[in-house]
Amino acid sequence: MFAIAELDAAAGLVAARVPPTPALDWPLLAQALGAGQVIVKHENHAPTGAFKVRGGITFIDWLRRTHPRMQGIVTATRGNHGQSQARAATAAGLRALIVVPQGNSVEKNAAMRAYGAELIEHGQDFDAARAHAMQLAESQPLFPVPPFHRELVRGVATYGLELFRAHPDLDRVYVPIGCGSGICGTIAARDALGLKTEIVGVVASAADGALRSVRAGHVVETDSARTFADGLAVRVPVAEALAIYRTGAHHLGAVSEGEIAAAMRLYFTATHNLAEGAGAAALALALQERDQIAGRKVGLVLSGGNIDSPLYAQVLGGGVPAA
């Protein structure tokens, strides 16, 4: 998908605004998984608290070079992508119009506004918000940022580049899947470096369109995507991403709401890191697949740590938030 020179160029762009995130060895997680070693890629430590910040930098750089007359961008999000786009767009002097579904995370909404976003609430879920954002782009001098784009993936791939250069001997890496930029970026970094690491995608059982699509060999939409892990709450998989992870991933697996909550608690007790639902999904599937990773060196992408305080308190108290 990318030559190593293209990813190194992206890494240079990203490093000017986002310091490399830690890839840390956590023995208590290795004990819990029965693995030989567990390395966590802490994208929750990035500015905006999520991996998406990387793609915003490369995308806005590309936009300014290729569409210099655009006055800004319009896009849809559940929060992390929106923070990324607002941060990069406003830093470039561009307008950032962000559409979120009704009832979206209060704290993510506040963060997007703090980065300069103009927020519109529309629709009952991400896919409805995405359709509205694309409609708005038709009537305003704003570039429609899709949930998946080559430049987004090139930026996101820089976390994979950091991870694999620090730990080229990883046997398997677990990556959450929403619209797919994270797993596709991880696959791109692995392939550009010529490694053989197994990459495993993780979806929520309540939003398993990507898993169904891989099994069917084509995009399969679901009727709903009601998971409290909002980064995974996608009804309509992205065809371009599916084409990459369908062949580039070792396999995909699904985790329940209870398994996600349990993984969030384990992250806190074993590492004292806050993981949002999507951020904990990789650990949740690794726990489910203990037998497959016994004694192996495993990587977990902790993709983000942005969750509303009341929901996190509920999780730490042993509960499972309602979707």
Burial (CB count <10 Å: 0-12, 13-18, 19+), residue 91? middle
**CA 14: distance to chain centroid?**
16
Residues 6+ apart with CB under 8 A from 121: 99, 100, 101, 102, 104
Tens-digit pLDDT profile for residues 120-154: 999 999 999 999 999 999 998 999 999 999 999 99
Whether the CB-CB separation of 286 and 293 falls below 8 Å is answered with yes
Report how far residue 239's alpha carbon sits from residue 210's, in angstroms, rounded to the nearest whole number.
10
Is the fold of 4-51+150-316 the same as that of 52-144?
yes
Whether the CB-CB separation of 272 and 28 falls below 8 Å is answered with no
Per-residue pLDDT for 1 more than 90?
Answer: no
At residue 158, the pLDDT reads 98
Whether the CB-CB separation of 105 and 78 falls below 8 Å is answered with yes
Report how far residue 144's alpha carbon sits from residue 275's, in angstroms, rounded to the nearest whole number.
29
Which sequence spans correspond to the domains of the chain? 4-51+150-316, 52-144
Per-residue pLDDT for 221 more than 90?
Answer: yes
- Tell me the CA distances in angstroms from 96 to 57, 119, 161, 163, 203, one per residue in order: 14, 9, 28, 31, 29
Degrees to nearest 5, angle at CA 8 with 84 and 25: 75
At residue 323, the pLDDT reads 86
Q: Nearest 5°: phi and psi at 97?
A: -100, 120
| Mean pLDDT value across residues 89-101 | 97
| Mean pLDDT value across residues 210-237 | 96
**CA 23: distance to chain centroid?**
16
Per-residue pLDDT for 226 more than 90?
Answer: yes
DSSP category for residue 127: H
Tens-digit pLDDT profile for residues 62-92: 999 999 999 999 999 999 999 999 999 999 9
Please state which of the four CATH numbers 3.90.1150.10, 3.10.20.740, 3.40.50.1100, 3.40.50.720 is assigned to the domain occupying 52-144.
3.40.50.1100
- Tell me the CA distances in angstroms from 250 to 47, 155, 191, 319, one per residue in order: 30, 23, 13, 32
Per-residue pLDDT for 107 more than 90?
Answer: yes
**CA 159: distance to chain centroid?**
11
Per-residue pLDDT for 163 more than 90?
Answer: yes
Confidence class for position 223, pLDDT limits 50, 70, 90: very high
pTM of the model: 0.96
Q: Is domain 4-51+150-316 in CATH 3.40.50.1100, yes or no?
A: yes
Report how far residue 145's alpha carbon sits from residue 252's, in angstroms, rounded to the nearest whole number.
27
Tens-digit pLDDT profile for residues 254-267: 999 999 999 999 99
Report how far residue 101's alpha carbon sits from residue 120's, in angstroms, rounded to the nearest whole number.
8
**Quick one: which of 40, 16, 48, 32 has its CA closest to 166?**
40
Tens-digit pLDDT profile for residues 270-279: 999 999 999 9
What's the mean per-residue pLDDT of the chain? Answer: 97
**Quick one: which of 122, 123, 100 has its CA closest to 110?**
100
At residue 191, the pLDDT reads 98
